[in-house]
Amino acid sequence: MGVTVLGGLLDAVAARMPLRRSLVGPGSADDSRSRLPDRLHPRAHPVPVTRLGRCLGAEEGVTLIELLIVMVVMSIGIAALVAAFSAGILSVNRARLASTAGSLADQQMEVYRQAAFISLPTTGAQTPTTPTGADGHTYWMQVAGMWTCALGTYSAGPPASCSGTPASRPVKLMTINVRDGSSSAKLLFTETATFDASTG
């Protein structure tokens, strides 16, 4: 009787297996898994690598030639900036010297305007002086005075006169030269003015 029962069970199992295969369907993933032995899995499909991952994993870099080119371009740009700053500093310094020299000449000429006409020198170049400007820099200044005529030719006389038509009277011409520190330095400023006896 035991043999009969075991045979019946095997027949029942054999009768149910085609039913499972018909439900799963041939060619499906479950069908392939059903035919695998125990504790084995189907082979996994490779996962495609993204473009970003390839870029991150690349070993490309900057070559020595490219680095040298970049350094040369940067050096040229820095040199141009330094030259521009240097030129600007020199221009500002020249403007400062000229402005201060003009101020010193104006001050001296104002002294002559306040003085009597007879006291103005007419013997040519006077003894130079070395005044200090508001910027703390030392300048070289020389005054030259002489007789001249607005119209005609000057005659020393005596008395001093101007020949020509129309007639005019002699005037004193005062010239102030200011240089940068010494008689041989660059001329920074020149100022001239005429003085008439009627104004003194």
Q: For residue range 12-55, what is the model confidence (pLDDT) as tens digits?
A: 545 555 444 444 445 544 454 455 555 555 565 665 555 555 55
pLDDT for the residue 24: 44
Q: What is the mean pLDDT of the chain?
A: 79
The least confident of 3-12, 88-97, 169-178 is 3-12
Q: Alpha-carbon distance 128 to 115, whole Å?
A: 19
162 or 21: whose pLDDT is higher? 162
**How do residues 95-150 score in pLDDT, each as one tens digit?**
999 999 999 999 999 999 999 999 999 889 999 999 999 999 999 999 999 999 88
For residues 122 and 145, is the Cβ–Cβ distance under 8 A?
yes
- Edge-first strand listing for the sheet containing 187-195: 124-125, 140-149, 170-179, 187-195
Quote the CA–CA distance of 169 and 162 in Å, as a whole number.
Answer: 6
Is the pTM higher than 0.85? The answer reads no
Least confident of 42-51, 130-139, 172-181, 191-200: 42-51
pLDDT at residue 187 in the model: 95
